[in-house]
Amino acid sequence: MNRALLITLITVGVLFLGGIIALTYIGSKTPETFIYKKDEIPAAYRAQMRELNLISENEELLYFYSDGLLDLTDGMYALTDQHLILYSIQWSEPETIIAFEDISSLGINYDASFFVDSYVRVETVYGMEVEFPLSSERGRDKEFYELLSKRVEEASEMSSSLE
């Protein structure tokens, strides 16, 4: 075998092995493409949300989704027992934390495709409108939205009874 062919084969082998190692590393560090339920949310994700002061120590994460490819902070969307939390480092104001009683209207455009997310629209009593994605994988976009709707309705009923 000539020397040039041997060097080429070794180079291709090293590049291939490097690619496999890189993909394995990326795969181990990136979030899943589905919405996590509370018991599935990795401790590192909870810790990052606490470091960013998105959740308090007594707040329970119920659902979590990230559309960030390599970094959670590219897009995190969570539902806790107290708030809807939206975060993206790409926004001028990265964090949006909305109490359920501050939500005046909700809507969702479901998309069953694996490649396209469903989108939730939220309007607050202060006139702010936001939209965020939810993965339709495993039908958890419906679960997330139904629980959000229920919490908003309960908060509305509670504030009505206090008036």
Q: Who contacts 143 (Cβ-Cβ below 8 Å, separation ≥6)?
A: 35, 37, 63
One pLDDT digit (tens) per residue for the chain, 163 residues: 687 776 776 777 777 776 666 655 555 556 667 899 999 999 999 999 999 999 998 999 999 999 887 788 899 999 999 999 999 999 999 999 999 999 999 999 999 887 889 999 999 999 999 999 999 999 999 999 999 999 999 988 887 666 5
- 59 & 132 share domain: yes
Domain total of the chain: 2
The amino acid at 12 = V
- 10 & 75 share domain: no
**Distance separating alpha carbons of residues 135 and 86, to the nearest angstrom:** 15
Task: Give the CATH number for residue 99.
Answer: 2.30.29.30
- 103 & 52 share domain: yes
Q: What is the pLDDT of residue 13?
A: 73
Q: What is the pLDDT of residue 16?
A: 73
Domain span holding position 10 = 1-30
Q: What φ, ψ does residue 161 adopt, rounded to 5°?
A: -75, -20
Q: What is the pLDDT of residue 22?
A: 60
Q: What is the pLDDT of residue 26?
A: 53
- 8 & 70 share domain: no
**Distance separating alpha carbons of residues 98 and 8, to the nearest angstrom:** 57
**Distance separating alpha carbons of residues 89 and 72, to the nearest angstrom:** 9
- 18 & 98 share domain: no
**Distance separating alpha carbons of residues 29 and 31, to the nearest angstrom:** 7
- 16 & 86 share domain: no
Tokens of 19: 């690619």
Q: What is the pLDDT of residue 1?
A: 64
Q: What is the pLDDT of residue 4?
A: 73
- 1 & 26 share domain: yes
- Is the distance from CB of 96 to CB of 83 less than 8 angstroms? no
